[in-house]
Amino acid sequence: MRRALVILCLAVAVGCGAPPSSLQGPAPARGSSPEVPSPRAGSRPARPPSGDLHPAIVTRVVDGDTIYVSLAGRSVDVRLIGVDTPETVAPGQPVECGGPQASAFTESILEGRRVELEFDVQRIDPYGRTLAYVWLNGRLFNAVLVARGYARVATYPPDVKYVDVFLAAERRARAADRGLWRWCA
């Protein structure tokens, strides 16, 4: 039953409301080191061994769950595993509730920063993007997005390494009425 629930992507939320600007937070200055929000103390997954991580620099944020990085001298389009943020740049689709806020949050935390990528079973998605978990300062950014209410859980087997972390973060965000759970209800 749980696996079936995991496979399901949550439906796109309807009824958008503008979030308070105080929830967006200011963008850090280039080169600065903003505090990476924690999903919740004690619930963070352990950082994998360094041999499983691939250093990269985030060169551009496309939207809340898609970034470009410089990886081993190449520009790589990366889709964050296990999460789904509302659309802002999908051709032929309107901007979805919470999408601009999710994109701004990802940009404010990741753009220009050194990160580490962790891969799961599948390396490339059907659109040719590299699938990865993004680690910043020892924290799993994918989980931070969910915990702060900027993303919903969207896992696709076999890439389910952190599904329990993501589901727990989503339950807490929903119970606390954070982000999408407040703006788009």
Residues forming the active site? 79, 87, 129
Contact 132, 66 (CB under 8 A): no
Spatial neighbors of 148 by CB under 8 A, at least 6 apart, are: 37, 39, 105, 173, 178, 179
Count of Cβ atoms closer than 10 Å to residue 140 Cβ: 28
Q: How many CA atoms lie less than 13 Å away from 5 in the CB half-sphere?
A: 7
- CA-to-CA distance for 163 and 177, rounded, in angstroms? 21
Q: How many CA atoms lie less than 13 Å away from 36 in the CB half-sphere?
A: 23
Torsion angles phi and psi, residue 153, rounded to 5: -75, 135
